[in-house]
Amino acid sequence: MIIGKFPNLRLRRSRRSDWSRRLIAENNLTPSDFILPIFLIDGKNKKEPIKSMPGVYRYTLDKLSHFVEKAINNRIPMVALFPYTKKIKKNALGTEALNEDNLVCRAIQLIKKRYKNEIGIMTDVALDPYTSHGHDGLLKSGYVLNDETIEVLINQSILQAQMGSDVLAPSDMMDGRIGKIRKSLDKNGYKMTQILSYAVKYASSYYGPFRDAVGSKGLLKGNKKNYQMDFKNKDEALREVALDIKEGADMVMVKPGLPYLDIIKLIKENYKIPTMAYQVSGEYSLLTNGINKGFVDEDIILESLIAFKRAGANAIVSYYADRIDKLLK
């Protein structure tokens, strides 16, 4: 409620000067608000551009240190690792996910050995980078099996924890997987390994460039609507979050981001749990291509990121995180 009336009350008074606008700003961004996603690729001395994501690259492990050091120097608290898996390593069961010598496992070990706890490591728990059909779990007659997939995800989680991952991020949307992963982690001595649940992951058209980035573009058989959420629903999002909190999630994720600011706000208001937003590949590519073609100003990046904070997000997974030092100047 606004108390007062014009002309005694002039809201434009406080907007007149830059110093005044900064003084009363309700939301601001710092590097601590970001999680930096990194795409990994096999080989040596490679920095491979992702055509559908201008300005984003896949890195070989020998190029990883420079990228991680920049994040540390910029005070970004965590990186998220995503592998590009060659087709020859993909199969229907996604067995490469359980290979202790896979890209993600080697990257975790490299970062932990070199940087200890200077930066957090988040790893994706799901099978889609590793399956020949592009789904997040085990597929039978066009349907992703729930309980059978969870057993594989448990093993994937334990492996990543053994390698040194700080935050496991199940993005698969199987019912009940958070509780079973938490129980297994505790049983195996990883009580302090955190779980960031992709509790609210919508079946979305915004994911296309990401699938290109991890090598699953064109592989997907059917769609993911029988396990990811319907974008028409919001009450269902609250039910998903409630279940994951009860099962032991330390944090939750909303994905995609900008189209679902209302969901972020609902979660924060109802549960007060640390809530992350993922500014996904499609959002990034739409904004970046608009900027590159001169349709919109580069300031749109900061505007979009502040929107997440205004909605209540604690942190943002964003492909702009690697240039946040320039954006926040």
pLDDT tens column, 148-165 = 999 999 999 999 999 999
Cα–Cα distances (Å) from 314 to 175, 217, 283, in that order, read 25, 31, 19
The SS3 call for residue 143 is: strand
pLDDT at 83 (0 to 100): 96
H or E element at residue 288: helix 281-292
Average the pLDDT over each of 50-59, 175-184, 217-226 and give the range with the smallest value: 217-226
The yes-or-no verdict on residue 290 having pLDDT over 90 is yes
The Cα 124–Cα 312 span in angstroms is 23
pLDDT at 5 (0 to 100): 86
pTM: 0.94
The Cα 123–Cα 41 span in angstroms is 15
Instruction: State mean pLDDT over 268-297.
Output: 97
Residues with catalytic annotation? 201, 255
Cα–Cα distances (Å) from 95 to 99, 108, 129, 176, in that order, read 7, 19, 11, 21
Higher pLDDT, 286 or 222: 286
The yes-or-no verdict on residue 98 having pLDDT over 80 is yes
Average the pLDDT over each of 6-10, 15-19, 268-272, 313-317 and give the range with the smallest value: 6-10
pLDDT tens, 300-316? 999 999 999 999 999 99
pLDDT band of 8, cuts 50, 70, 90: confident
Report the interhelical angle of 64-73 vs 103-115 (nearest 10°). Answer: 50
pLDDT tens, 205-215? 999 999 999 98
Average the pLDDT over each of 90-104, 111-125, 219-233, 305-319 and give the range with the smallest value: 219-233
The Cα 211–Cα 220 span in angstroms is 9
Instruction: State mean pLDDT over 309-325.
Output: 96
The yes-or-no verdict on residue 1 having pLDDT over 80 is no
Q: Domain coordinates of the chain in residue numbers? A: 30-327
Q: Which CATH number fits domain 30-327: 3.30.1370.60, 3.40.50.720, 1.20.1630.10, 3.20.20.70?
A: 3.20.20.70
pLDDT tens, 62-79? 999 989 999 999 999 999
The yes-or-no verdict on residue 225 having pLDDT over 90 is yes
